[in-house]
Amino acid sequence: MHRMTLALLCLSLLTARTTFAQDYDLGGARRPNPDMSLKRSGQYKRVHQVTLRYLLRDRADEAREYITRYIDEHPDDAESRFLLGLLEAHAGNAKEAAAAFQKALDNGLPAGRLIAGPRELVESVRDEPLLKRVFDDHEHVPVHGPLVGHTTDTSVSIWVRTAEEADVRIIAASDPGLTNAATSSPARATAENDYTAVVTLSRLRPDTRYYYAVQIGNGPKQQSEDQQFRTFPQTGKSATFRLAFGGGAGYVPPHERMWDTIREEDPLALLLLGDNVYIDDPESPEMQRYTYYRRQSRQEWRRLTAQTSVYTIWDDHDFSTNDSWGGPQIDKPLWKRDYAWRIFRENWANPGYAGGYEQPGCWYRFAIGDVDFIMLDCRYYRTSPRGEDPSMLGPVQMEWLKSQLRDCKGTFKVLCSSVPWDYRTKGDSRDTWNGYKSERDEIFGFLAEHDIEGVLLMSADRHRSDAWKIERPGSYPLYEFNSSRLTNQHVHPTMEKQGAIFSYNAKQSFGLVRFDTTADDPTATYDVVSIDGEHVHSLTVRRSELE
């Protein structure tokens, strides 16, 4: 009973904390409007967010009415049964909560969801036999992950979430039996970091496939056939490889098979360029974590990310709400750094997060062979597009970008933005670079002024897959590969009439880019691949076109 009372007290405190006063200091940011974004309950990704938001705002009766009505129409939906369990736990009905959780498991909910939570609610029924068994089963087993993150030619970082605080190690070797394996130093998964740890293993060989196991605490090594990764080709050297990219990955169970489709293409890396989970509630850390949990629990996602290096940036629906800007301040509004940025860091294993706590954001650079990738943060320091001298990147990131462009020596240099570069992609909307023309001009002018060749553009945001060609008088054209309908239901119209080289929206899709810098005239080939594995469009850009 003491445990239940404490958990309910924690939830009441969390509820109070996530209900922001209307007059808090926005610091130049656009005020979030979660209710607007969560109204589209017809989209599956929103149904359970609406329920949780009612609960977090101490409107449990409305939450129960809403989700019960949905269950009546969809009795086998596992996520809905899970939410009903959370409502029973919130009401102090431990046995009813456990029964709802069991029904969710029977309908296919991964058991780790009962651990991830929201933990404050799950803790209230921890004494129930079901919960005891699930926690015992995961004492030495990852709740989420392993997820392969930042990789180089000689190292790898792997992300894991555990059931309790624990040390995590990675054991890896170039054969599946883990003969003569290397063992990492331990990384600690703590409650402060939502029980996540990023483990780094170094002194690896370039361009080599490794198999690995995860060890939590002093438990047995956990290994599956999916747990393998490839180190990147030697940095700065010519290579052939392919990567997948995209955005627009709202949680839709029938479309989660997309992650298996990507895995079947065996990309070396996956670049997620924003709208990766669709949170749309920056003032609520509980909503942010919940939205990550449901994706991270999917077996399709876990199979892919256990063997593919994942790199991420965010866009509006991960950072704040639709078409948002964060304003120029580092620590205002409060949720920018203390909620959105902190929780983004908890859930990925990127090589960096801008300048860290003193200069937060999600920009960074990495390389695969002799191809450089510059990942941009288009939200944290963005100002209103209707203000005076609007900025998407902010002055610090702009100077960083210029320094990286001067420093990059790769055959190709790929600038990755969460929003489209081409002005034609979204009509008159100012949410793309269309609202920040002077800043885009500054970047493109810098390329011309410093004779920076080999630049390609990638982006997301629009719920389709496009290719664009941006002409630049006096300099080479810039090709843009755009894709952002990984799993989303909602779709945007195709854009051939607006000048796209091609545009596809018939099904969910992703971009597959094959680089070959060993050729006399190196190439980057962009294929659009549907959720069913169909290669529906292709564009090859030769290095000689980018000079």
Residue 186's pLDDT is 98
Percent of the chain with pLDDT over 90: 92
Q: pLDDT confidence of 340, banded at 50, 70, 90?
A: very high
DSSP assignments along 498-514, one per residue: GT-SEEE-SS-EEEEEE
The model's pLDDT over 229-268, given as tens digits with 9 standing for 90+, comes to 999 999 999 999 999 999 999 999 999 999 999 999 999 9
What average pLDDT does range 157-171 have in this prediction? 99
- Find, among 186, 231, 185, the residue nearest to 211 by Cα: 231
Residue 255: C-alpha distances to residues 23, 104, 310 (Å): 40, 19, 19
Mean pLDDT of the chain: 95
- Listing DSSP states for 17-39 in one string gives HTS--TTS--TTPPPP-HHHHHT
Residue 109's closest CA among 286, 302, 257, 299?
A: 299
CB proximity list for 88: less than 8 A, separation 6 or greater: 94, 96, 97, 99, 100
pLDDT of 14 > 60? The answer is no
Strands 523-530 and 371-375: unpaired
Exposure b/e, 382-398, CB count within 10 A at least 16 = b:
bbebeeeebbbbbebbb
Using CA atoms, how far apart are residues 495 and 501, in angstroms rounded to an integer? 9
Backbone angles phi, psi at 375, to 5 degrees: -100, 125
DSSP string, 306-318: TTSEEEE---HHH
The strand order across the sheet containing 478-483 reads 364-368, 371-375, 412-416, 455-459, 478-483, 465-470, 502-504
Look up residue 482 and give its two tokens. 């755009």
Phi, psi (rounded to 5 degrees) for 11: -65, -40
Predicted pLDDT of residue 16: 39
Nearest-angstrom CA–CA distance, 274 and 288 = 15
Distance CA 401, CA 415 (A): 9
Residue 188 tokens read as 């600690």
Task: Specify the CATH class of 144-229 in words.
Answer: mainly beta
* Segment 24-43 mean pLDDT: 81
Q: Which residues lie closer than 8 Å to 545 by C-beta, 6 or more apart?
A: 476, 477, 479
User: Residue ranges per domain, the chain?
Assistant: 2-137, 144-229, 233-495
* Region for residue 278 given its phi and psi (left: phi exceeds 0; alpha: psi -120 to 50; beta: otherwise): left
H helix count then E strand count, the chain: 17, 21
Q: How far, CA to CA in Å, does 23 sit from each of 17, 20, 215, 281? A: 15, 8, 48, 17
Give 39's pLDDT tier (boundaries 50, 70, 90): low
The H or E element that residue 444 is part of is helix 437-449
pLDDT digits (tens, 9 = 90+) for 85-97: 999 999 999 999 9
Q: Which CATH number fits domain 2-137: 1.25.40, 1.10.3470, 2.60.40, 3.30.70?
A: 1.25.40
**Per-residue 3-state assignment (H helix, E strand, C coil) for 448-462:** HHCCCCCEEEEECCC
pLDDT at 43: 86
Confidence of residue 40 (pLDDT cuts 50, 70, 90): low
pLDDT in the model for residue 123: 87
Count Cβ atoms below 10 Å from residue 253 Cβ, excluding itself. Answer: 16
Element (H, E) at 415: strand 412-416
Grade residue 36 by pLDDT with cuts at 50, 70 and 90. Answer: low
233-495 falls under which CATH superfamily? Alkaline phosphatase D (PhoD) (3.60.21.70)
pLDDT of amino acid 2: 33
Q: What is the pLDDT of residues 452-461, one digit of tens each?
A: 999 999 999 9
| Cα–Cα separations (whole angstroms), residue 101 to 125, 175, 220 | 10, 39, 28
Single out the residue of 210, 209, 280 nearest to residue 241, CA to CA: 209
Q: Name the residue among 72, 37, 65 with its Cα closest to residue 51.
A: 65
Instruction: Kindly tell me the burial class for residue 185, based on how many C-beta atoms sit within 10 Å of its own C-beta (0-12, 13-18, 19 or more).
Output: exposed
CA 333, 334, 338, 340 dihedral sign is negative
Amino acid at 39: K
How many CB atoms neighbour CB 58 within 10 A? 15
Mean pLDDT in residue range 142-150 = 99
Asked if residue 233 has a cis previous peptide bond (ω within 30° of 0), the answer is no
Please tell me the predicted confidence (pLDDT) of residue 20: 55
Residue 231 is classified by DSSP as P
Nearest alpha carbon to residue 517 among 106, 239, 149, 242: 239
- Closest by Cα among 394, 546, 386 to 479: 546
